[in-house]
Amino acid sequence: MSAASAQHGTPILSTRHLIGVAGLSVAEITALLDLAEEYVEVSRQRRKLELLKGRTQINLFFEPSTRTQSSFELAGKRLGADVLNMSVGTSSVAKGETLLDTAQTLNAMNPDLLVVRHQHSGAAELLAQKVSCAVINAGDGWHEHPTQALLDALTIRRHKGRFEHVVIAICGDIRHSRVARSNILLLARMGAQVRIIAPSTLLPPNAARLGVEVFTSMEEGLPGADVVMMLRLQKERMDGAFIPSEREYYRFWGLNEQRLALAKEDAIVMHPGPMNRGVEIDSVVADGPRSVIREQVEMGVAVRMAVIDALARNLTREAAA
Amino acid sequence: MSSASHSPALPRAFVNARLFCPASGLNGTPGGLLVENGRIVATGADITREAAASRGLPPENIIDCNGHWLLPGLVDMRVFTGEPGFEYRETLATASDAAAAGGVATMIVMPDTDPVVDDAAIVDFILRRARATAKVKVAPTAAITRGLAGKQMSEIGLLKEAGAVAITDGRKAVASSRILARALAYAHDFDMLLINTVQDAELGGGVMHAGELSARLGLPGIPRQAEIIALERDLRLVEMTGARYHAAQLSCAESVEIMRQAKERGLPVTCGVSINHLLLNENDIGAYRTFFKLSPPLRTEEDRAALVEGVADGTIDVIVSAHDPQSADTKRLPFAEAAFGAVGLETLLPAALSLHHAGAVPVERLLEALAATPARLLGLEAGTLKPGKPADFCLVAPEASWRVQAEALHSRSHNTPFEDRVFEGRVLHTVVDGETVFRLDRPAISA
């Protein structure tokens, strides 16, 4: 496999930005995954391409995330872009700057790509309306985290070979999870059968309307699952407001070997990280033979390379037009 | 006829009784029942002295009920004891003495103890103490929120596993709508019944019913709206979450109407009332008598009559004693400073039978509300005389009249609102798991 299609520069995405998976078609998703698959090899060979030479990518993280930020940084650099990290939490926002002030400042710097992570839903959308570059949503509030869903999809496709009729159980804090929302949308669109499993306090209202099967018990939701995707439970949710305690959560919703045995024999275990070992997942499972958690991290870089490349192609076309 | 002399290895027969068990269609049916290994093995007209004798039962194992009523042991859904933490008021053992003397075979105990029942270890403690010291069965409820503080959910799943039969914050209502909504949603996942006290904390700050009498007595009142607002809010949250909900005690006529409508809408909701609120009203307070200071407060005669009607037509599901032992320290105080609450385990059944005698509520409805329904709501194997079920029952002389004397009651505390009241209907004999746990000293009473 080579980066041939990448060099062709064929357009992949119909949109200028990647705010969510909600707007992506099956064809677009498939093309992104195919391209990402090629970048897995590039990444494994530690090759550095020059596709984005002269392009500037700014990582704007209003919420700290070492993993996602590093992944985007590496992806941009492997494609040859100049990558700049702005950690906003500690600088201008603390001095009272609004999101739109930040957008104006950025416009003055003329970047080509803006990777944004924000604690509030809709922030990526708002920035996209106000900046002149392409925006990639790296997670906004509880709304979407499209590159996470794409990397999860790529991991699933590599193991299951397809999406049609694959049963995927997403377990944990669905209510507050952008990862869950993006995954539900993307996997359902690709033909997978998505289940969500959580205590009622961690389900969004009218969860069944999202096109998923809803369970409140792992024992009922796990049988027949091809993929068990665990979500991170934030510590602040476990103090009695949503969940009585860590130990109770682990007792009823933690993924241990006995519960995993309810899923299909060849089921894989996923987690977007960082994990709370002994809360949502047992270490034996997290580090066990069915865990693909480390592979997810690897797929993250490849998928982000594909997304950056795809959006950069659109910029090139715009300039040419 | 002494219970101590029967042969424990052999079955026991209770014959020549009138059997009552609404679920079995027994409504005063002449007959008897046969008990073996703690369970009822047969119930009906064919259990006679002759039939028992022909099975080889020795005479001391055949108890002649002299035509008295044989009822399922009561399941009292709201009992406060003082154990752990307030043993000077009541222990599980002393409460169980009172229960046995009142025909109550199962006490549902509240989590308002010290420490609060908000941890699986304390549920386990109560169950162990009850097994070791109590004559009747004890089923603990656990706190909805940690420390009954209304802020953080308790470990509802672990508490259920430990043996808690429902969650409730006892005397306290969960004030925060957000916390209650979450607790209902979470309890629903475990099919755990949530029992809430229905009184708005802000409006419920008084000491008696807000009305003319409180105005005359110069005491701060608790308006009906304190209950109505809380109940209506709770029902909206049930609608939102789908959880099983039980309003612990109603006190107002309008609350009955609200429950009636909620049930018509198909909500999974039930409610209870204390026997005190069915027999007494605010006028009983008289000259600041603190034994009538109850929570919710005794209200008007119209409210009382509506509550009785609610029991009769089934809108009110459960009758409780709301047994709440208080010592002289907490009751012999100016009305405003005195504690709320009254003892009631021992008088629950005789007091309830007065509603039957008055023609207000048929005895089969009373038995549903006192035994079968609470057992069903809490998932207990109790409240019935059906064969195969635990042998929990009581024998009652329905017409025997007796005067309540506070000092003669078995409870460690004597704060009864029925002092000197004459009831018709007296418990003669109480059996739990096939064993006699109470027998009235004066066997002279006849049918």
Tens digits of residue pLDDT in B244-289:
999 999 999 999 999 999 999 999 999 999 999 999 999 999 999 9
- Indicate if the alpha-carbon torsion angle B84, B86, B92, B93 is positive or negative: positive
CB B301 within 8 A of CB B278: no
0.80 exceeded by pTM: yes
Facing A240 at nearest CB: one of B153, B185, B188: B153
Closest CA to B78 of B271, B276, B320, B259: B320
Length of chain B equals: 447
B145 interface with A at CB cutoff 8 Å: yes
Digits of tens for pLDDT over chain A (321 positions)? 444 444 457 899 999 999 999 989 999 999 999 999 999 999 899 888 999 999 999 999 998 888 999 999 999 999 999 999 987 765 556 666 788 888 888 888 999 999 999 999 999 999 999 899 999 999 999 999 999 999 999 999 999 999 999 999 999 999 999 999 999 999 999 999 999 999 999 999 988 899 999 999 999 999 999 999 999 998 777 776 899 999 999 999 999 999 999 999 999 999 998 999 999 999 999 999 999 999 999 999 999 999 999 999 998 888 887
pLDDT digits 0-9 by tens, B172-217: 999 999 999 999 999 999 999 999 999 999 998 999 999 999 999 9
At A1 the pLDDT is 41
Whole-Å CA distances, B21 to A289, B138, B345: 59, 22, 21
Contacts of B241 in chain A (CB under 8 A): 200
In this structure, the strands spanning B39-44 and B26-36 are antiparallel
Length of chain A equals: 321
A65 interface with B at CB cutoff 8 Å: no
Instruction: Given CATH 3.20.20.140, say whether it is the number of domain B73-378.
Output: yes
Facing B189 at nearest CB: one of A199, A245, A251: A199
Residue linked to tokens 């922030």: A123
Closest CA to A163 of A143, A147, A149: A149
Distance CA B241, CA B191 (A): 12
Q: Is the pLDDT of residue B313 over 50?
A: yes
Name A27's Cβ contacts closer than 8 Å, sequence gap at least 6: none
Selected residue of A175, A219, A237, A243 to mutate for chain B interface (largest B Cβ count, 10 A): A243
Q: Which residue of chain B is at minimal alpha-carbon distance from A198? A: B189
Whole-Å CA distances, B137 to A58, B189, B382: 69, 27, 10
- The gap between the terminal CA atoms of chain A, to the nearest Å, is 31
Name B363's Cβ contacts closer than 8 Å, sequence gap at least 6: B20, B27, B28, B353, B356
Q: Taking the CB of residue A26, how many other CB atoms lie within 10 A of it?
A: 12
Provide the chain A residues 202-231 that lie in CB contact (below 8 A) with chain B: 216-217
Q: Is the ipTM of this complex over 0.85?
A: yes
Bin B359: left if φ > 0, else alpha if -120 < ψ < 50, else beta: left
User: So where are chain B's domains?
Assistant: 73-378
